Amino acid sequence: MVRFVRIPTYEQFDKMIDKTVKENGKNIYVLLFGTEDPSTGSSWCPDCVIADPLIRRHFSNEAHPESVLVEVPVGTRSQYKGRPDNPYRTHPRIQLKAIPTLIKWSANGSDDKSLVEDECSRDDMLKKFFSE
């Protein structure tokens, strides 16, 4: 059964991702996206809005049944856009360059794979990414 986990703040990220890996093994996918605007319920990031339903559909259809999708909002537009000090940009393992970013998270980091920006809204790439 596929599951979803949300890590609401950067301060919780390392602890929660380590716990998720420990409990679920190798089928961990991390989705980094622009935080939802409370007035609309959608991300402030237009690429994230386009990619989100596609990622979720492919995750549900192609990912291993024991997979986990970890949702990671990276902040409001003012906390992310033009901010090289955003903690996800400086995180030693993530080094976030653009959103959305989808990472197949490995236990040790050496086998991480990712899709970035418009790759996250390409059906062919998502199908392959979740089926490997």
**Residues assigned a catalytic role:** 45, 48
**67 Cβ neighbours under 8 A, 6+ residues apart:** 2, 3, 24, 27, 28, 29, 59, 130
CB of 24 within 8 A of CB of 68? yes
Q: CB atoms < 10 A from the CB of 92, how many?
A: 7
- Nearest in space to 94 (alpha carbons), one of 106, 82, 83, 81: 106
- Distance between CA atoms of residues 48 and 91, nearest Å: 20
Torsion 63-88-94-83 (CA) sign: positive
- Distance between CA atoms of residues 24 and 107, nearest Å: 10
